[in-house]
């Protein structure tokens, strides 16, 4: 089938899912849609461009973190990466434990769901890794675990960007134009509420290089959900920097 034929079939399946007489019929139509969209790399944006799917309203997702005090660096970077991968934007306020995400409703919801699951998994992995090395390594538990978390987050960022690049390369010209228009609409929506923002500075704090690399390796296997066609990376992380001991420390490259 040509791409236009697949798009037409997806439109019919979408109408069937919306008007199905039973939950089973709706589920079958939705499953068939997901299969075709994955196989032919057609996004919901392209269906919107075809005029069949109505675009989600742009919204402001508040208090994604829900914590008090300063936002931990690794959590902030995780949300920024997830927002960028989901065609949304995130904003934080210095000294406050909150971050707002701006984008289409479905994209903002995806950021929230993914953040909750991935942050919990990174925390679990950091705790497990520290329980193994604490008996043989002299280091601050806080420094080591935070370094691990940052390494995991940065590797997850790479995976998210790789997945996004694949999706963008497979879009039609019409889908690309729509994406750019929606991105501009999100930017205008955000600017109207918070004004111009500046990029969050990356921390230059000294960390454990060993823990960072262990975390990055762990980040290769963290489940990213699969809702946007993400797959584990084929490329592996580069070799760790030379180190005289497991206690070697230095800034993140």
Q: Are residues 229 and 144 in the same domain?
A: yes
E strands along 21-170, which residues? 58-61, 89-92, 99-104
Structural domain contains residue 227: yes
C-alpha span between 54 and 135 (Å, rounded): 57
Which tens digits make up the pLDDT trace of 107-134? Answer: 888 898 899 999 999 999 999 999 999 8
Q: Are residues 13 and 95 in the same domain?
A: no
Structural domain contains residue 127: yes
Which tens digits make up the pLDDT trace of 31-44? Answer: 888 888 888 888 77
Q: Are residues 17 and 99 in the same domain?
A: no
Residue 240: the pLDDT is 32
Q: Are residues 129 and 167 in the same domain?
A: yes
Are 219 and 152 within 8 A, CB to CB?
Answer: yes
Better-predicted residue by pLDDT, 30 or 233 = 30
Report how many domains make up the chain. 2
Residue-number span of the structural domain to which 18 is assigned: 3-42
Q: Are residues 86 and 184 in the same domain?
A: yes
Which tens digits make up the pLDDT trace of 227-244? Answer: 433 333 333 222 333 333
* Cα-Cα-Cα-Cα dihedral sign, residues 26, 27, 30, 36: negative
User: Average pLDDT for residues 166-185, to the nearest whole number?
Assistant: 79
User: Average pLDDT for residues 1-20, to the nearest whole number?
Assistant: 78
Structural domain contains residue 98: yes
Q: What is the H or E stretch that residue 249 is in?
A: strand 249-250
Which tens digits make up the pLDDT trace of 208-226? Answer: 999 999 999 999 999 987 4
- Supply the pTM of this predicted model: 0.66
Q: Are residues 224 and 117 in the same domain?
A: yes
Look up residue 222 and give its DSSP letter.
S
């Amino acid at each position: 089938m040509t791409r236009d034929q697949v798009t037409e079939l997806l439109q019919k399946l979408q109408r069937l899912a919306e008007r199905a007489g039973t939950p089973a019929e709706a589920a079958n139509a939705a499953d068939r849609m997901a299969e075709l969209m994955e196989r032919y790399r057609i996004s919901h944006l392209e269906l919107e461009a075809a005029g069949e799917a109505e675009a989600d309203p742009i919204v402001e997702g508040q208090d994604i973190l829900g914590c008090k005090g300063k936002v931990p660096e690794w959590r902030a970077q995780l949300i920024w990466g997830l927002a960028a991968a989901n065609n949304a934007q995130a904003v934080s306020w210095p000294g406050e434990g909150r971050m707002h995400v701006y984008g289409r409703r479905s994209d903002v919801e995806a950021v929230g769901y993914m953040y909750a699951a991935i942050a919990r998994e990174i925390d679990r992995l950091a705790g497990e890794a520290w329980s193994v090395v604490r008996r043989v390594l002299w280091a601050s538990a806080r420094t080591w675990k935070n370094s691990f978390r940052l390494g995991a987050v940065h590797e997850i960022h790479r995976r998210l960007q790789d997945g996004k690049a694949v999706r963008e390369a497979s879009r039609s010209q019409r889908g690309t134009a729509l994406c750019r228009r929606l991105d501009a609409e999100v930017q205008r929506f955000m600017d109207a509420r918070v004004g111009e923002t500046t990029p969050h500075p990356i921390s230059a704090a000294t960390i454990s290089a060993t823990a960072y690399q262990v975390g990055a390796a762990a980040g290769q296997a963290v489940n990213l959900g699969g809702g946007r066609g993400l797959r584990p990376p084929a490329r592996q992380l580069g070799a760790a920097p030379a180190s005289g001991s497991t206690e070697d420390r230095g800034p993140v490259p």
